Structure 1
Amino acid sequence: MIDFYRAIVFPNRVREQRQRHGFAKLLRLSARIPEIPYIRLSKIERGEVVARADELRRVAAALGIAPAELLLDIDAADFDIAAWAEPFSDGAQIDLKEERFAVLLGAALRARRTLDPALTIAMIERDYGLPPVNLSRVENAQKPFGRWNSAVQRALFALFGVADEPALRAEVEKRRAAGVLDSFLATIANPETRISRTRERVAELLAALREEAPAPAVAATAALLPLPGAPVTAIRLLPVFGAPLPHGLIGDQPTGRTVEAPHIAGPRAFGLKVCRATLGGGLPAQAIVVADPDRLPVPGGIAALREEEGWRLLSVASGRDGRMIGYSINPDMEVSLDDCDPARLAAIVSAVFL
């Protein structure tokens, strides 16, 4: 069985409501919601990722509707996933053979990681050059093998210890014949599994939306407000904290330094000295990041997670089930961010490289 709609985990009414309220293009709506990156918003509208409650509230506020109006009932008698997905189709002819291999490959990769606990997301990126976003997309069989670029294909060859595509196809087929993939195929290719997961996530969103939305934060200082008619030239400086702690943590000690707040930073934003390159060379120890507790992290970004002894910086990616995962390279670890108290999370909104 092949689930042709396996990449759709969150059917919704975002596109319908967007067009109904005068936004012919998603880009126009995105401009009204700077807190949600355009790519993320596009994936939400296409049902490729599950929105968070705060994201639905922001979209609904931009459209002037209630957040629940962005959700739909996938169990309704008139709901047809094929009709819902048709506007997002690229019109390409479906190749059943390649669709089958994409599903088998996704199951094989899931089995490979499950059977080798040492093979973490961070290790796969570091040692095989396969970024978490692409890892998740391969595991969810989001497109045929031939549509992956050469870098992803080479990473998969290395992961399975083969030399080329024919050898990879043979290896995956061998594992299928041996029954290694059986328990993993249902999570990719079974429509009922997808529908059940979607139903659960939508129910979680409805419950979250019933809770009272947090009141908007108000800036604490009037010194930043310009006089009537005066140009806006005030610069807000944030205190910088940070001291290296064991296991990659960052202590709360003041450094005596300040960093300029970006315009998108909320009133509770603060600077955090990286201290150690826990996320690799792209974010060196000397760098300072701006953490904003009033913004939740999004996949593709960086999060600061408050632990008992200090802060931990984590790269953010989407897991195979649409949930957010934070990971670091040194130490090599993964954290399910959806299971964390939002009060312990802060999005990183900018970085200064010294």
Structure 2
Amino acid sequence: MSMARGNKQRDGARPIAGDLPVDLYRCFVFPNRMREQRRAAGHAKLLRLAALLPEIPYIRLSKIDRGEVVPRPDELRRIAAVLGIAPAELLLDIDAPGFDIARWAEPFVDGDPVDLDEERFAVLLAAAVRARRAGDPALTIAAIERDYGIPPVALSRIENAQKIFERWNAATHLALCQLLHVPNVDELRHHVVALHAEGTLDGALAGIPGSAVRHERTRARIAEIAAALQPAFAEPAFAEPAAAPMPAPLPVAGAASVRLVPVLGAPLPDGLIADTPTPEKAEAPHAAGPRAFGLRVCRATLGGGLPGQTVVIVDPDRFPSAGGLAALREEAGWRLLSVGSDRDGRMIGYSCNPEREIPLDDCDPARLAALVGAIFP
């Protein structure tokens, strides 16, 4: 969490409007009891616990401990098993009368005074980058990494104001100056504050969630994971209010080992796939979960190796892993991605047509599903 040192005026920087709302706890998207429970189990240092959980990269485990990412249900089960507790004991009720996000986050901040000007500037910078990208369709995530050297994970953090400007390194400072067409850091500060004063950033600022939105999202994420930890009471992960119920898998008479599932899919703009039912059925692998379904690729968004007429089997009960393929549920439809990981263990989803690089650790786990099979034309 970015708690800056001092509350000083930067040389050449204009004052930032004091009424700009800032959520000082915006990085903590999933407060939990992991730190408390691991210490109770004798793991004062996270490294000791990490040694018992080789399936979870240390950096990701640290982010779960700090509440900076939403863990997957299988990760919570693994952590709980090592600690000898039920997975639900890792969850918090953030609506409980005694819960205070500031008190919960205290062990994870550096203890220095909060520099509100720098916190506000981080939000304005996030809005400026969002506005710049919105005004130029060619500025894709992949293009920004290629032309400015800002990795997708760093871009996501900048656009969500996850740390103050001073905590980015000199290379990122230079890249942001180039992206926003200014010669140096002082001019960058002037430029961003001036854009805010002109009202140019108002639309982008509206898209940066405040504390109330964070609280609502956190509540929903905790509820989703609590339901997933008790499958008998869980709601379907991908249920859409306006969508018709997904047909159940159809058994094949005389062949108990074969299961046919419905095939959905119609092409949408931007490489997305609609939930449109088709008359087709596809055979699901034996290991596919009960909610598995087929999805027609429609376009070769992952390249020639997965032609448009291919039908992939999507398993909402299985989370994707590096080296595999995934389906990400976006607002308009499904996006197919190949899954890799960077050197810090973060999962990234890739599409080549259109070019996309999506930090999957930042996505809601309930909207990610593994592809467990493919039927080629």
Give the alignment's TM-score, normalised by structure 1. Answer: 0.66
Deviations 1:192-226 (A, max 9, x none): 111111112111111211116xxxxxxxxxxxxxx
Whether the aligned pair in 1 keeps the contact of 2:91 and 2:222 (CA below 8 Å) is yes
Which residue of the partner structure matches residue 326 of structure 1?
A: 349
Which residue of the partner structure matches residue 320 of structure 1?
A: none
| Equivalent position to 1:248, from 289, 296, 303 | 303
Deviations 1:39-95 (A, max 9, x none): 001011111111111111111111111111111011111001111011111122222
Whether the aligned pair in 2 keeps the contact of 1:130 and 1:155 (CA below 8 Å) is yes
* Aligned equivalents of 1:11, 1:130: Cα separation in 2: 28
Which residue of the partner structure matches residue 342 of structure 1?
A: 369
State how many pairs are aligned: 264
Name the stretch that deviates more: 138-147 or 70-79: 138-147
What RMSD, in angstroms, separates the aligned Cα atoms of the two structures? 3.1
Which residue of the partner structure matches residue 313 of structure 1?
A: 338
* Aligned equivalents of 2:337, 2:159: Cα separation in 1: 27
* Aligned equivalents of 2:301, 2:164: Cα separation in 1: 43
Distance 1:66 1:246, change over 3 A: closer
The aligned runs of 1:1-354 (5 Å cut-off) are: 1-188=21-208, 190-211=210-231, 247-250=302-305, 296-297=320-321, 303-305=324-326, 313-315=338-340, 326-328=349-351, 332-334=355-357, 338=365, 342-344=369-371
* Aligned equivalents of 1:113, 1:345: Cα separation in 2: 35
Distance 1:160 1:246, change over 3 A: closer
Whether the aligned pair in 1 keeps the contact of 2:326 and 2:369 (CA below 8 Å) is no
Q: Which runs of 5+ in 1 are unaligned?
A: 213-244, 253-292, 318-322, 347-354
Distance 1:4 1:126, change over 3 A: same
* Aligned equivalents of 1:314, 1:117: Cα separation in 2: 24
Deviations 1:237-292 (A, max 9, x none): xxxxxxxx88525369xxxxxxxxxxxxxxxxxxxxxxxxxxxxxxxxxxxxxxxx
Deviations 1:126-182 (A, max 9, x none): 111001121122122222212211111111111111111122112211221232322
Whether the aligned pair in 2 keeps the contact of 1:2 and 1:189 (CA below 8 Å) is no
Give the alignment's TM-score, normalised by structure 2. Answer: 0.62
- After TM superposition, give the deviation of residue 108 of structure 1 in Å: 1.6
Whether the aligned pair in 1 keeps the contact of 2:87 and 2:229 (CA below 8 Å) is yes
Distance 1:79 1:187, change over 3 A: farther
Whether the aligned pair in 2 keeps the contact of 1:105 and 1:138 (CA below 8 Å) is yes
Secondary structure of 1:92's counterpart equals: coil
Letter in 2 for 1:42: S
Secondary structure of 2:223's counterpart equals: helix
Whether the aligned pair in 2 keeps the contact of 1:57 and 1:67 (CA below 8 Å) is yes
